[in-house]
Structure 1
């Protein structure tokens, strides 16, 4: 696990975009795992700027969303497909037909998870997966207690998660759906390179658990410790409770440029 502590959200966005660009340079048809929420927004903005300047093309890439609410109508402004279209697809040159998400609108929710797993497998698996993390340790919508071997499935959202997400629904917790379809922890761990972004003091405790804590279903994000290729991008506030933060800064500063991400 490489821990990178940066100055601010803009720098996090630039470095996150560097990681994506590195993968696309090596494999123009890279398969991207796409997160929603506030964490990856600056990465998407930077990718859009690079595409507009002609420095990068994602035209051959495919994308897979981490999760989707169940019960929101298609086209709802806070459905994750609408959000990813607004924040990422519309800003770059990827073909919208090559961006997929779990089917939260279908009649057979039990079958939706295995169908999504098969779609990812048919694409050859995810090359680089963007991730955020909830304050209580969830990745995608794998709440505390989730199996660390879980695959895409229906999940119930905790009140805490719904409260955290109410800001996207005009502060109305009751408007936040109670269920979602989400990639499992095992699905996420199958990605070849995982890139987790966390910013702000509110994420300091969960970042400490992720980087320096024990692997536990209490903090599902700690499963990333078991993966061979993880990059954690933090601002100073999110890194503030790390005991070894000075070491992480020194290691990144001394990293040879040829090593890449």
Structure 2
């Protein structure tokens, strides 16, 4: 079931997203949070930090599991997702760092690292709330359009659309990694609830394709239509075709 929430401005977007996460933690302090990177959730994380500083939410008993990580970037690289999460959220709240999990993009055996992350997810039980952004090509996590999709955590070759979209964070396209490790579609769809967030007119068409079009591996986000509890948080520009 899709529950679409349209908001009018950036403040409402961030407030709504943060409130959904904070409400879950208030009910279930030991919640398993599936977290995402990219520009879309940054304001939501900032608002969560504010709620934490106001004493309205605590993360000290929560566990977090990130969707993905670039392969080949050191953990302290400015664009690594481990550093992103530390700087945008973890360093500013009371979550225990050992309870924050990001796939390893620097393991000697990457296939083993993917298997290890799958076991970690299985041992954790279900993700209570999984945050997702939406790629311009319909990817969620780093599950790119393909002839077939993989269910568990796996290694993926990044689509050129994705690399070009992310090049703005690097000095040049040549610095953007070509591979990543990502939760698979199956792992994502196991979450109890999914929060898909999208902003901007450039996401309107792919969002409509994902939520209203046919199920297809050429648009991985279309498989969200099969989930029983998806909240879609959009601004007016991104949601104009819904």
TMscore range, shorter length: over 0.9
State the partner residue of 1:72.
Answer: 73
Deviations 1:167-190 (A, max 9, x none): 1113x1110000000000111001
Shift of 1:136: 0.8
The unaligned stretches of length 5 or more in structure 2 are none
Is the partner of 1:42 in helix, strand or coil?
Answer: helix
State the partner residue of 2:184.
Answer: 184
State the partner residue of 1:219.
Answer: 219
Is the partner of 1:5 in helix, strand or coil?
Answer: strand
Scaled by the length of structure 1, what TM-score is found?
0.90
State the partner residue of 2:99.
Answer: 98
Matched residues in 1 for 2:117 and 2:155: separation? 12
Runs (4+) of structure 1 exceeding 6 A deviation are: none
State the partner residue of 1:259.
Answer: none
Is the partner of 1:85 in helix, strand or coil?
Answer: helix
Is the partner of 1:129 in helix, strand or coil?
Answer: strand
Matched residues in 2 for 1:210 and 1:160: separation? 17
Matched residues in 2 for 1:148 and 1:166: separation? 25
Deviations 1:143-163 (A, max 9, x none): 111645521000000111101
Q: 1:210 to 1:117 in 2, by over 3 A?
A: same
Is the partner of 1:104 in helix, strand or coil?
Answer: coil
State the partner residue of 1:247.
Answer: none
Matched residues in 1 for 2:148 and 2:49: separation? 35
Matched residues in 2 for 1:188 and 1:146: separation? 19
Kindly indicate whether the alpha-carbon contact (under 8 Å) linking 1:45 and 1:91 is maintained by their aligned counterparts in 2. Answer: no
State the partner residue of 1:175.
Answer: 175
State the partner residue of 2:138.
Answer: 137
- Count of residue pairs brought into register by the alignment: 241
State the partner residue of 1:26.
Answer: 27
Kindly indicate whether the alpha-carbon contact (under 8 Å) linking 1:147 and 1:185 is maintained by their aligned counterparts in 2. Answer: no
Scaled by the length of structure 2, what TM-score is found?
0.97
